[in-house]
Amino acid sequence: MQGRAGAARARAQGAGAARPHPYDARALLVELEQVPGIRADSYYASLLPELVRTAVILGERELAVRLVAAVEPHTPLAKRALTACRAELAEAAGEKSRAVDLSGQAAECWREFGNVPERAYALLGQGRCMLAVGHPGTEAPLAQAAPLFAAAGYKSALAETEALLEQTRIASAS
């Protein structure tokens, strides 16, 4: 497993840094998803939320579901990754209220675990879904996510967070 899985991981990581064409990113995700035994690899679990986010952004919700399929929560990391992925998949399926709850759980899990970027993404997802369903308190998770993204240098996620914060401020001023 290590040879093919390692090569697919290396290409996926390198491609992420280089901002590949969406078709290339999809092809890499499909290749990784098909590697035998990959879901038992703890490194796969550590990348799973990012892989699922990428598939969802590409409009490949079914691929995102396949990436998560058969991953077992054998480690604390895998358990947290699966919670985050369930939130992402619920949002992608239009289940915004469910995604609010799951994203909140994921944010708390990542806070306890000390994974700042994943906590920030969970808070962003929670805020995005709260805004979509008109849930009160939308600003709170977004206001928590913004400095986390800023400190990590995640410019595009920070820009999305700030845009959503602006929407909440406009909505509350109306």
Written as six digits, the tokens of 55 are 């598939």
Q: What is the pLDDT of residue 104?
A: 98
Averaged pLDDT, 134-162: 96
State how far the Cα of 133 lies from the Cα of 34, in Å rounded to an integer: 36
State how far the Cα of 64 lies from the Cα of 10, in Å rounded to an integer: 19
Average pLDDT of the chain, as a whole number: 88
Averaged pLDDT, 106-112: 97
Per-residue pLDDT at 9 exceeds 90? no
Q: What is the pLDDT of residue 22?
A: 63
State how far the Cα of 50 lies from the Cα of 99, in Å rounded to an integer: 17
Averaged pLDDT, 95-103: 98
Helices (H) and strands (E) in the chain, counts: 9, 0
Chain-centre distance of CA 16, in angstroms? Answer: 14
Indicate the pTM of the whole model: 0.85
